Structure 1
Amino acid sequence: MACDHTFTLDAHKLQRRYLQLQRALHPDNFGQKSVTEQEFSESQSALVNKAYTTLLKPLSRGLYMLELQGMRIEEGTDSGADTEFLLELMEINEAVDEAQTPEEANKIGQDTKGKLADLTERIDAALREAELQTARALLAQMKYHANIEEKVKEKLREFM
């Protein structure tokens, strides 16, 4: 995808490269080619899609970067999350559930975006310093906040 191997990246540059690769590899361009070329196009186009979606979002990008270093964060294995953090998340989740207006949900969403932006900066710094355990712990927190962000989006759709 012609990206630097860093946590922060230029999303516009990533998108341009994605579109460039898809113009060249998309299966629609290979309808009159051999079966082998069509299959190659399909597999390579799928890989480009996967790479793009992985790199586009900070959480999946960070998890991928840790995986490249031999670390994985498995679902349900964040036993290291401290009680205070988990209580805070429970309160935020309850607030989302109890939000009566789009404004209330938006406020929670904006707070969550701020926390995600802060985590993004901290993860970037940890990865630049090769502090993989710190990056791993911060990415685990990011997973929780990303889930809250999705829950807020669902709540806002309910108001429509």
Structure 2
Amino acid sequence: MLDFSKNYFELFGLPVGFIVDADSLSDRYRDLQRVIHPDRYANASEQERLLSLQGASRINEAFETLKDPIARATYLLTMHGIEMDAQKETTSDMAFLMQQMELREELEGVRNQDDPYEAVLDLRGRINKQIKTLVGQMAVQFESATPDQLEDAREILRKMRFLQKLRTEVESVAADLEDEL
């Protein structure tokens, strides 16, 4: 059965770090699901069925956490004893905040563009590029994970969350525009 004392990285047999091999993660996820899937325990004792359900739930939670850069960074910070409250924490980088305001204004005005769908795709592309840059910066912070680097990782995570929220809003507008086509 599954060892519930293992962290998510150990559970998947991966080195602890921000960079995760997506193929290895997916392969190991499928392997673990085959072993622990509740259907395999249909004729087992009630305790074994319960453990199977708990194991499958833990595997799913670990997989979702490790495949998402924001969730993975949050988990790594937690492993280092740094808790983050997404609702209360915000970046203090004024230039970044101003840029976010400009991007939000651009999103609000996208329907006034000659080609609103193209404008929203362009905006999404720029946001994705910023997120990719931050993901690269995050990887560097976790390489040796000194206290200063962990604080920098925390700040990068705040920015990633801002951009992720904005990207979700952009995706919503893009979907609305597609429906109108």
Q: Measure the CA separation in 2 of the matches of 1:76 and 1:40.
A: 33
The one-letter code sitting in structure 2 at the alignment partner of 1:38 is: R
Supply the AA of the counterpart residue of 1:82: D
Q: Pairwise CA RMSD of aligned residues? A: 1.3
**Other-structure match for 1:87:** 98
Could you say which residue in structure 2 is the equivalent of 1:109?
124
Residue 143 (1) aligns with residue 144 (2): no
Secondary structure in 2 aligned to 1:155? helix
8 Å Cα contact 1:27/1:41 also seen in 2: yes
Question: Does the Cα contact within 8 Å between 2:37 and 2:56 map onto a contact in 1?
Answer: yes
**5+ residue gaps, structure 2:** 1-11
2-side partners of 1:3 and 1:149: how far apart? Answer: 29
Distance 2:62 2:91 in 1: 29
Asked if the contact 2:18/2:76 (under 8 Å) is kept, the reply is yes
CA contact 1:73–1:140 (8 Å) conserved in 2: no
* Deviant stretches of 4+, over 3 Å: none
1:124 is aligned to 139
> Residue 123 of structure 1 contacts residue 135 of structure 1 at CA under 8 Å; is this kept in 2?
yes
| Matching residue's letter, 2:102 | E
Preserved contact between residue 66 and residue 72 of structure 2 (Cα < 8 Å): yes
Question: Deviation digits for residues 21-76 of structure 1, max 9, x if unmatched?
Answer: 11111112221221111101100000000000000011110111001000122123
Is structure 2 residue 177 aligned with structure 1 residue 159? Answer: yes
Partners in 1 of 2:60 and 2:29 — Cα distance?
8
Corresponding residue of 2:5: none
The 3-state SS of whatever aligns with 2:17 is coil
Q: Does 1:19 align with 2:30?
A: yes
Q: Indicate the percent of aligned positions where both proteins have the same amino acid.
A: 24
- 2-structure distance, mates of 1:157, 1:80: 29
Aligned partners of 1:152, 1:2: CA distance in 2, in Å?
A: 36
Q: What is the aligned length?
A: 160
CA shift in 2, pair 1:152/1:80, >3 Å: closer
* Conserved? CA contact 2:17–2:143, under 8 Å: yes
Secondary structure of the corresponding residue to residue 85 of structure 2: coil
Q: Which moved more, 1:47-56 or 1:76-85?
A: 76-85
Corresponding residue SS for 2:156: helix
Q: Which of 45, 52, 55 is residue 44 of structure 1 equivalent to?
A: 55
Q: Which residue does 2:44 correspond to in 1? A: 33
SS where residue 119 of structure 2 aligns? helix
SS of residue paired to 1:62: helix
TM-score (norm 1): 0.94
Greater Rg by CA: 2
1:10 has 2:21 as partner: yes
C-alpha deviation, 1:98, in angstroms: 2.4
Q: Distance in 2 between matches of 1:79 and 1:148?
A: 14
